[in-house]
Amino acid sequence: MKPKKQHYVPQFLLRNFANGRKNKAKIWVLDKRSGTVYPASIKDVAHENFFYEYHGDAGHIEYENLMQKIDSIGARIIGDITSKAILPNSVEDRIWLSYYIATQMIRTPMTRGDMENFRQLVISKWGKDIKAHPDDPKTIGEYGPEDAKASSLHLLKDVPSFANLLQEKAWFLCETPPTAPYIVSDNPVVRHNMIDRWPRGNLGLKNDGIEVYMPLSPRFSIHAACKKLAAVALMTSELSSTFARALVEKTPIHYKLENVEFTNSLQVIWAERFIFAKEQWHLDMPLDMLHTNPELKNGPGVRQKPEMSPPHCNDGPLN
């Protein structure tokens, strides 16, 4: 029987940030919109009813079984990484891990919400009677949230292209000091680029300088970086030996406190609404960020005013 609750962040990943037995595991949750913090069962967070199902004019789509297969493979590989403290040596496992991360990039409420919110922005600016394409039988006002759902599910066909681009990056396993654990959000795969390409975006997976982060547990995170950026690190005297060993041996880089805080800040910025942590005090930094930057409560998507240039909306992942 297919589950009604369908998770957009898989339970195996949430379990890495939870306390308690498998069926009773609890995780601490921060709701960015309300600022409330509370414990919850991992079964009851990061899910929506029938999230991977669509039945409408665009046909019938059911991807829950596919997500379960990808999550099962991802759980095995990530379990090996966190237990052995080493990235996989197997080429096949590296490829599957890139597919898991690429899937996680797309399967979020932010992706789906951005499609509908962008439609609403177009309507507010040009009215509901315009068409997205001259051959489109519908006006933009005749579409709705269910159409955004169908479009977001169709985006999963791009997973192989995203995965191929991720495979081209330099991958590092990063380990925290005991006093600075990682947190995770409802949008776990986040991107950063220190190279300013204004007025164009700089967060596409093809862009020079792009960095991709995904926490695996409070102790470990994956960092996939543009190879040009990695080459610069390898030429930096104080970093060269550490990065070279990590690339060859696939062993962890030991992050400093400021590195972990930066990585965690990206989870706060990119979170659509919810941030998750193993202990309540792990959410102190996110709460402080929200207090000093209240605009972060709304998430990073196109629901914000266009002139604010949200970081991920001005560039597609493949650009």
The kind and range of the H/E element at 102 are helix 91-106
pLDDT of residue 141: 87
3-class state of residue 55 by DSSP: strand
- Categorize the per-residue pLDDT at 313 as very low, low, confident or very high, splitting at 50, 70 and 90: very low
What pTM value is reported for the model? Answer: 0.90
Residue 60 has pLDDT above 90, yes or no: no
What whole-number distance in Å separates Cα of residue 156 and Cα of residue 251?
31
How large is the angle between the packed helices 237-249 and 227-235, nearest 10 degrees? Answer: 130
Residue 228 has pLDDT above 80, yes or no: yes
Identify which of 39-48, 107-116, 150-159 has the greatest average pLDDT.
39-48
What is the edge-to-edge ordering of all strands in the sheet holding 170-175? 190-193, 210-215, 220-225, 170-175, 253-254
- Categorize the per-residue pLDDT at 307 as very low, low, confident or very high, splitting at 50, 70 and 90: very low
Residue 238 has pLDDT above 90, yes or no: no
pLDDT of residue 303: 54
Mean pLDDT value across the chain: 89
Residue 229 has pLDDT above 70, yes or no: yes
| Residue 99, token pair as written in the block | 């597919």
Task: Give the model confidence (pLDDT) of 90-128 as tens digits.
Answer: 999 999 999 999 999 999 998 888 888 888 888 888 888
Least confident of 28-42, 110-124, 204-218, 297-311: 297-311
Residue 314 has pLDDT above 50, yes or no: no
DSSP assignment of 266-307, as one string?
HHHHH-SSEEEESSGGGGHHHHHHHHH-GGGGG-SSTTS-GG
Residue 308 has pLDDT above 60, yes or no: no
Task: Please tell me whether the peptide bond between 199 and the residue prior to it is cis, using omega within 30 degrees of 0.
Answer: yes
Match 């862009």 to its residue by tokens: 207
